[in-house]
Structure 1
Amino acid sequence: MTTYWLAQGVGVIAFLIGITTFINRDERRFKLQLAVYSAVIGLHFFLMGAFPAGMSAELNAIRTVISMKTRRLWVMGVFIVLTLVLGLSRLEHAMELLPIIGTTVSTWALFRCKGLTTRCVMWCSTACWVAHNFWLGSIGGTLIEGSFLVMNGLNIIRFWRMQRRGIDPFKIEKSVQQESPSTR
């Protein structure tokens, strides 16, 4: 098996992992699934020889997990600087700017936004990745990011409509545990 087909296989695995990411209304599950997807697609990009995209995706994975623990500006700044320095240092083609831009924008979204705004900014980031992946010839990457673009777009509309009806689509409902009457 050639490295190319191994890379494409890893991309398809990433596609399978990522396909349901944006339907999660629970912010924690959304971010965890996004992190796993980012780690796998990063491996795919490294195997494809796309260093800036691979580095951006792996930073996405780490950044997404860390953004679950803190939303401090300095942490966000560290990830943006790392993305720019590492990505720009290996830049060989103008199209490789797109994952760097996408990662920078999504970093800002994960640290500074919540709910529907997060998904809207992530949609813009996804548009950058779709164009890059198509240019690179990444089958799995183009399929998954194209799917993200459509699925996240549809969910943005659905969540927006829920908000217009006065429903908070991001409110986590907690089940109330009822104690059964004790028998003596």
Structure 2
Amino acid sequence: MTPFVLSQVLVAIAIGFDLMSFQFKDRQKIVACLFCAGILISSHFILLEQWTAASLMIIATIRYLVSIFSTSNKLKYVFCTVAIISALVTYSGLVSIISCSASIFQTVAAFNRDDRRLRELMIIGTALWLVHNYIVGSPTAVIMEVLFISSNLLGYYRYYYKKSAAV
């Protein structure tokens, strides 16, 4: 199996965790699923030799684990700073800027106590990852981001739009 094919298999497995994540209302369960997906996605980027994205996803995986237990603003800023430093060290052009921006949005989301705001910020970050994954040529990762946004929007609809429409 080539590294590319293996990378696509890992992302396909990560899709399951991503789809589950936003079907929960509890932010800790959402973030726990994102942690599991992050391990697989970072491995995917390593196999594709996309070092900025790989380092940012490793940081994101640690961030998701930490944010299960804390929503500290100080930690949010620490993870944003580490992401920026990582992107600068591994800089490889536009893809580094896009992935770093995505990571910043998702960092702010992960440390947000309000699951509604978490969902909204994750949509922005995910859209940026979608563009990144298209540019680096990872079709399964593009599908993953489309499904992730769809799952997030479905959860958003179920928990916020549907309830306010019924009132």
**TM superposition score normalised by structure 2:** 0.91
Partner amino acid, structure 2, of 1:157: Y
Question: CA separation of 1:106/1:113 partners in 2, compared to 1, >3 Å: closer, same or farther?
Answer: farther
User: In structure 1, what is the equivalent of residue 65 of structure 2?
Assistant: 65
Partner amino acid, structure 1, of 2:51: F
Q: How does 1:1-40 map to 2 (within 5 A)?
A: 1-40=1-40
Question: CA separation of 1:134/1:72 partners in 2, compared to 1, >3 Å: closer, same or farther?
Answer: same
Within 1, Cα distance between the matches of 2:32 and 2:142?
21
Deviation at 1:166, TM superposition (A): 7.9
> Looking at CA atoms only, which structure, 1 or 2, has the larger radius of gyration?
1
Within 1, Cα distance between the matches of 2:162 and 2:3?
46
User: In structure 2, what is the equivalent of residue 159 of structure 1?
Assistant: 159
What RMSD over aligned residues (CA atoms) do the two structures have, in Å? 1.8
Partner amino acid, structure 1, of 2:47: L
Deviation at 1:163, TM superposition (A): 4.5
Q: How does 1:66-145 map to 2 (within 5 A)?
A: 66-145=66-145
Check the 8 A contact 2:71/2:113 in 1, yes or no.
no
Q: Secondary structure at the match of 1:23?
A: coil
Deviation at 1:154, TM superposition (A): 2.7
Within 2, Cα distance between the matches of 1:59 and 1:2?
26
Q: How many residues align?
A: 167
Moved more, 121-130 or 146-155: 146-155
Q: Secondary structure at the match of 1:112?
A: coil
Q: Deviations over 1:69-103 (max 9, x none)?
A: 12222211111111000112111121221221111
Check the 8 A contact 1:12/1:139 in 2, yes or no.
no
% identical equivalent positions:
22
Which has more helix, going by share of residues? Answer: 2
